[in-house]
A and B are shown apart, each in its own frame.
Chain A
Amino acid sequence: MIDARRAVEAVWRIESARIVATLARATGDFGLAEDLAQEALGEALASWPDAGIPANPGAWLVTVGKRRAIDLWRRRGREDERMAAFAAELADATEAGWDPERIEDDVLRLVFIACHPVLSREASVALTLRTVGGLTTEEIASAFLVPVATVQQRIVRAKKTLAAANVPFEAPAPAEYPARLSAVLSVLYLVFNEGYAASSGPEWMRPDLSREALRLARVLVALVPREPEAHGLVALMALTAARFPARLDAAGDPVLLADQDRSRWDRSLIGLGRGALAAADRVGRGRGPYALQAAIAECHDTAASVEATDWSRIVLLYEALGRIAPSPVVDLNRAVALAMAEGPATALLEVDRIAASGALDGYAQLPGVRGELLARLGRPAEARAEYERAARLTGNERERRVFETRRRALE
């Protein structure tokens, strides 16, 4: 039942962040640490399936990483103090420099460096999933439907960029902290959304990718428990992921919120999300954009039906969200809630205003929502034209089918 290779990969998922962090601290070079960690993983994959997993696999991997570092420095003729210290540690004890309880700060530094602003989004995503999440290059490639070589290139390039920018392996200074934390949160949310509504490809959702993003957000919360938005992000992801079991029908097509079988929603995730939202509130610094979005998701998740949903509260929450994080997409969502709270006519005025601004040109959901409102207002010809436009604009095959089904229903 237990597969030897999968067991090694499981150890890696548990240990990778601490191993890369420990090696980065020890060598002072994040890029090198990542290479060393991957080499250590390669050695584990080669020897553990036969020899068995060592009693302390984390220490084993760090030791191998350090040995590789010494080999490398010797080859380059760099026999300096750091190398001597490594060699002494390795000769002295097998578990040198491995204290899982003392490296939380280093893991946090790792998260910050993987999501550093000098990196592209794609690079940060790949680097975070590989170093913090312990995913293999192959797993990342298949999750994002790109060739393995593309992910490898992104990682190599990312490490070169960090080296070129001389980014230190340090937590950001207090003045930069909020912006840097927000960059970390947005990378995790990007991963979550890629799983939630795959932007390309035949599948509408890749739930495991979203669950991994949720797990990483929980890892982050443990590292920065006093940051309300980290809790807010966990809450948002959990309250959104709770609806996954009801989001697809038997044929794998999306089921919209109104038509979902709410008894299939994941109660334990709703509990986790509500707990995280309460934790964000307990910090006592108010709700940020993630917590506000989580509060909106909570309104849905705790309502027995669409009709029983507190739409007026959702409108308010979207208004608050629109003020602290202005976005035409938020305005569009507010209009959808407004349609439920006050009727389609009020909402259509709002949607037309957004459409006139041009801010959402090319966004499939704009004609999608407009089509829905027009249909409810008894204007089927205009609604059909909007659904046709929405179907043309979306890059997702499954979503296209939903728009087309709605259009046909109005014929």
Chain B
Amino acid sequence: MAKYMLIMRATDEAVSAYEEIPFEQVIEAMGKYNESLMAAGVMVGGDGLAPEPGVIVDFSTNPPVVTDGPYGETKELFNGFWLLEVPTIEDAAEWAKRCPLGPGSKLEVRRVTGVEDFPADNEWIQKEAEWREQLGR
């Protein structure tokens, strides 16, 4: 078993198209999807990102530049994620396929690292484990 993150991204057009659909309908479709993840016992967590624009901190210069955005060259907005616990990436991809999203939307499926991915004797890795404990996660 491993944890996988389904990272939701959509083009501006897809986000606008989504806003055309009645909110009740969207929330019901997502609610049913989340319910199916709960009923299958694979849901670990997830969150959405608010639609209003944020800011971009760009490290191309020193010091980095803070601008409004993302606009312009950004083709896809990152707007939410799910965390699932399943045996293989194929299971995660299969769950991703069932998500009620439309054209212009994408889900990227990535494995979440665990303690076993890092050297247990590194002091920063040990500190991180303590922080997780403090944070209750």
Contact = CB atoms under 8 A, between A and B. Distances in A.
A52 to B, nearest CB: 12
Contacts of B135: 267
B57 interface: no
B7 interface: no
B73 interface: no
B69 interface: no
A215 B41 contact: yes
Contacts, number: 80
Contacts of B89: 1-2
A271 interface: yes
B91 A14 contact: yes
Contacts of A222: 38-39, 41
Interface in B37-88: 38-42, 44-45, 85-88
A245 interface: yes
A211 B129 CA distance: 21
Contacts of A289: none
Contacts of A53: 94
A217 interface: yes
Interface in A261-292: 261-265, 267-268, 270-272
Given A218-B41, A219-B40, A222-B38, A11 B133 contact: no
Contacts of B41: 214-219, 222
B31 to A, nearest CB: 12
A261 B86 CA distance: 25
Contacts of B45: 268
A268 B137 contact: yes
Interface string B96-137: 000000000000000000111000100000100110110111
Interface string B13-37: 0000000000000000000100010
B131 to A, nearest CB: 9
Given A208-B1, A262-B133, A267-B135, A10 B40 contact: no
B90 A3 contact: yes
A214 B93 CA distance: 21
Contacts of A215: 40-42, 85
Contacts of A261: 129
Contacts of B94: 7, 10-11, 14, 53
Given A9-B90, A13-B87, A14-B91, A263 B133 contact: yes
B137 A267 contact: yes
B90 A7 contact: yes
A6 B115 contact: no
Contact of B132 (A2, A9, A11, A267): A267
Contact of A207 (B1, B86, B95): B1
Contact of B90 (A6, A207, A263, A267): A6
Q: Which of B44, B87, B116, B135 has the most CB of A within 10 A?
A: B87
Contacts of B36: 100
A13 B120 CA distance: 33
Contact of B136 (A3, A104, A267): A267
A217 B39 CA distance: 10
A14 B130 contact: no
Contact of B115 (A11, A100, A264, A271): A264
Contacts of A2: 89-90, 93
Contacts of B32: 101
Nearest to B98: A14
A119 B93 CA distance: 36
A270 B133 CA distance: 10
A105 B132 CA distance: 39
A1 B88 CA distance: 11
A13 B126 CA distance: 36
B1 A211 contact: yes
Interface in A241-264: 245, 250, 261-264
Given A211-B85, A268-B45, A263 B137 contact: no
B137 A7 contact: no
Contacts of B115: 245, 264
Contacts of B44: 268, 272
A14 B42 CA distance: 10
A14 B133 contact: no
A113 B42 CA distance: 23
Given A211-B1, A268-B45, A268-B137, A263 B126 contact: yes
17 contacts: A10-B86, A10-B91, A10-B94, A11-B94, A211-B1, A214-B41, A215-B41, A218-B38, A218-B41, A219-B40, A223-B39, A262-B133, A263-B126, A263-B133, A264-B115, A267-B135, A268-B137
Interface of B: 1, 32, 36, 38-42, 44-45, 85-91, 93-95, 114-116, 120, 126, 129-130, 132-133, 135-137
